[in-house]
Structure formats: structure tokens, C-alpha cells
Amino acid sequence: MRALISVSDKTGVVEFADGLKRLGWDIIATGGTMKLLRDAGLEVINISDVTGFPEICDGRVKTLHPKVHGGLLARRDLPSHLEALRENGIEFIDMVCVNLYPFRQTIAKEGVSMEDAIENIDIGGPSMLRSAAKNYRDVTVVCDPQDYGRVLDEIRAGGNTRSETRLMLSAKAFTHTAQYDACIATYLREKAGLPEKLFLDFDIVQPLRYGENPHQQARFYRGAEPVPFSLAFARQLNGKELSYNNIQDANAALNIVREFDAPFCVGLKHMNPCGAAVGRDIAQAWSKAYEADKVSIYGGIVAVNREVDAATALAMKPVFLEIIIAPSFSKEALEILTKKKNLRLLEVDMRRTGVRERQLVSVNGGLLVQDLDTETCTVTAEMAVTKRRPEAALLADMDFAWRIVKHVKSNAIVVVKDGCTAGIGAGQMNRVGSAEIALREAREKGLTEGLVLASDGFLPFDDTVTLAAGYGVSAIVQPGGSIHDEDSVVKADELGIAMVFTGERHFKH
């Protein structure tokens, strides 16, 4: 029995080759793999001795030869194939152990050149994998070092791998080459400006008990490369398995958290914030966010942008929460919170990067793709369109409100006071309806003056301005852009309200 080994990832390959040798297999190897195995004291056949042809073109051509692919592809049950091998002096190759040049890792390097990327496109490796995988009835194909132990165990037990294992390994090999080719195609298509194809590469994180409702099946997948503020790459430190709806809500919470640099806390329910605040530290931010809506936070999700310390954990512990998300938890906080066995604690990378992220949304029979809405302008006094310009305290609340309203379902209105949400109106069919909800919430808390109101879209008429003035709103932040903008500005001037136009819109449908 002969095995051909040629790997870029050399993890465990010496032990694997040694195991095969001890089981009586001959090892054929190429280039760096051959040197590594020989340096480890293993007897290895040079690929050039098999093909009768040297490696050429700086190693670009070494395994693309009939004595390799004939030995892999010939069916052992067809006399014509066996005769062809005899006539041409070709011997069987019974196993291929190959993994590919590190193309993905190469293009992930900062400043990588096109030339370096092209040189890390493997040609012979995928060809060998595909040949061996196609002929899985007779040939074992191994592309994942995690499978070395299983392969050796089966050969020890039965003289060869089992047919079921060879089928599984074949599927893994075709998956490996498909992902590899998709990565190369995506890279080159971006360079060539060809957007009409989209290749997706996602690995399963876990099957879910069910989807949005119990009768719907669901699974959770993650992309090939880690990104910050991602639940897919979070570490779960405590609690039961996440559900489909947990994942949706937690993702929405992370998108809000990434808006803030100051200590910040948001409570979230059904993908809308129910209380959010900044504070001098994370304990104060939690206290303010909780007080903003004690009712809705029950059974909700909390996300913070600082380590959860013991003081914050003690304050959170009495409240029934589904999930707490943070960049880290202190040892003392974990001791406090893990006493609640069902409370999910998620540690998420919240480091900021300049990488552009995409948002994928499925529709029946299709997919919508857009840039993730991560850019938010800072609200400044220069954006004022009214005679009154917002004072410093109002301006800080306007910036805070603008970053929160962006993440509330449209039509969205957020009312803010002192760096904390006072009222939130989400998802109404008209903007005045959302404003009425948010303003009533603020009044029920006893907040009747110095309020800031933020709208995710323009105010098409002056009715929202009139309503806001009656509830003690002193400043309004909105994108502007209505043909009736002037009506709102005139009304704000009449009522003594400061209004700014940000010039950017953040609908969240």
C-alpha cells in the first residue's frame, strides 16, 4: 500500500507518516514534506522517482502526471483500467494526504501583493484531492489533520479504512477544495470588479432546538474569518444553549454597544432597546439603563462595553435576565453570576477594526447584501438649522439619542435625558404614533423638561415638533430631507426648540 503525502499544514504529519510506515505502508512525498519526514528519520520515496520527471517551474509542476493521477483514479474493479496501468508501468496510490497552500492566510496579511497571492494558489494539491476523492471506493483521501488518528486506528483494526469513512473523507475533501476555490474566486473577482456572483463560506456553530417558532428547524453558522462584536465567535462562560431568538436579540444588542466609547449599557427585548445609558462606570450605566424600563428588561438581554465587575454583577444578579454580554467578566463577577445556572454569560471581542463588514438578509429565493451600518456621525452644534443652538448638555444627549434611535425599528423615536433613554417608540406605521409612545413613557417617569428627541427619519410635517414641545422637549435631532423641512424648522423656532439635521439616515426596517 502506498500513500502520497504533501501538506502545507504539517501539524501531526510526522506522527501520521510514522504510523503508516509501522503498518507497512510506503510513503511518497514532495518538497518540504519529504525533507521534514526524512529529517525525522523516515524512509520516504521522492515524487520525482515515481513520475520519472523532476519538479519544475519552482515547484509549480511536480504531481500533475499520469503516474500520480493514473494511480489514484484507476478503478480496481475494471479490468481495462488495470490493463492500462500495467501497460504504462503505473502503480496504485492508495491514499492521498494533502492540504493546500495557505491562500486565505496570505490574503489576510496587511499589504499583501497580488503576486504573493497568486503564488499561494495551489494547483497540484486540489487535483490530487479531487482524484482521490472521486475514487473513494478504493482510495483514502485525508485533508484534515484531525482525521489522522481515526485513519490509523481503522487501518490497525482492519487493514484499511472502512468504506463509510472513505465516503466521509471524500465529502470533506471536495468541501475543502470548494471552499478553497471559492476563496480564490472571490479575491480575484473583487480585484477584477465582478460583483455578479457571491460565494458564501460558513461553518456550523451548533444545531438549534428550533427556529423562531417551535415548528421551524434551525442551525447557527459562522463565517470563515472572526470579526469583532460577533456572537458567532463569542465564548459562552455559563448558562444553557442559545436559542434562535436569543441569537437575533444578542446580535442587535452588540450592534448598539459598538456605537459607544464611554461606559455604556443597553437592555434589549425583541431586537429593540428597552433601556440604554452611559455612566461614569459600567455599574452606573447598568443602574441608569435598568431604571429606564424595569418592566421590559425582565427576561431580556443586557450588553455592556466594559468588563463586568463584582459591583455590577451584584446589581444585576437579582434581575431575571436571559443573557449578559461583555468584553470580559472579572473572576469575582463570574463567581456571583454563575450561581444562576441558566443565565448565559457571553464574552465577545469588542476591539474596533477598520474592516468593512457586510450584512446578509435572506428573502424568499434570494439574498440581500449591504454594507453593515457601522458609521454614525457625531452630532455637533454646527448642524443646527434653528435659531436656537443646542447647549453642551443638550448636545451630548442629542449625540447619545442619535446613536440609539439608529437601532430602533422604524418608524423610530427615542427620547433622552441625561445620557439615558426616557422613552422609546418603535415600529409604528406613522412617526407621530412612535413619538406619542416615547413621549408618554418619559412623562410617566416624571420627566417633563430639557428632553431630547431623536428620529431615525425626517419629520414630514411639523406635527411631531408640536407634540414634542407639549412634553418638554428642548432639542430634536433628525436626518432632514423632507420637502416640508422648512415647516418643522419654522415650528421649532416658534416653540424655542433647537433642531439639528445630521444629513444621514438610519432606517431599521
Whole-angstrom distance, CA of residue 24 vs CA of residue 34: 18
DSSP 91-125: ----EEEEE---HHHHHTSTT--HHHHHHT--SHH
Helix (H) or strand (E) holding 29: strand 26-29
Contacts of 124 (CB under 8 A, 6+ apart): 6, 61, 62, 63, 64
- Identify the DSSP state of 329: B
The torsion angles phi and psi of 489, rounded to 5 degrees, stand at -65, -45
Contacts of 84 (CB under 8 A, 6+ apart): 70, 74, 90
Whole-angstrom distance, CA of residue 101 vs CA of residue 278: 48
Inter-residue contact 140 to 132 (CB < 8 Å): yes
Name the one residue in this structure whose C-alpha cell is 418603535.
Answer: 426
Name the one residue in this structure whose C-alpha cell is 509549480.
Answer: 60
- Cell (9 digits) for 13: 504529519
* 270 among known catalytic residues: yes
The torsion angles phi and psi of 392, rounded to 5 degrees, stand at -55, -45
CB atoms within 10 A of CB 345: 23
Contacts of 108 (CB under 8 A, 6+ apart): 225
Least Cα distance to 425 among 443, 405, 445, 444 occurs for 405
Which residue in the list 270, 317, 340, 445 is annotated as catalytic? 270
Whole-angstrom distance, CA of residue 170 vs CA of residue 131: 10
- CA quadruple 291, 297, 302, 307: dihedral sign: positive
Least Cα distance to 92 among 114, 78, 74, 110 occurs for 74
DSSP 379-425: P-GGGB-SSSPPPHHHHHHHHHHHHHHTTSPSS-EEEESSSBEEEEE
SS3 string, 47-86, reads HHHHHCCCCECCCCECCCCHHHHHHHHCCCCCHHHHHHHH
Inter-residue contact 142 to 156 (CB < 8 Å): no
Dihedral angle of Cα 163, 70, 89, 81, to the nearest 10 degrees:
70
Which residue in the list 134, 317, 340, 445 is annotated as catalytic? 134
Helix (H) or strand (E) holding 325: strand 321-326
The torsion angles phi and psi of 346, rounded to 5 degrees, stand at -120, 125
Inter-residue contact 13 to 27 (CB < 8 Å): no
Q: Write out the catalytic residue numbers.
A: 134, 270
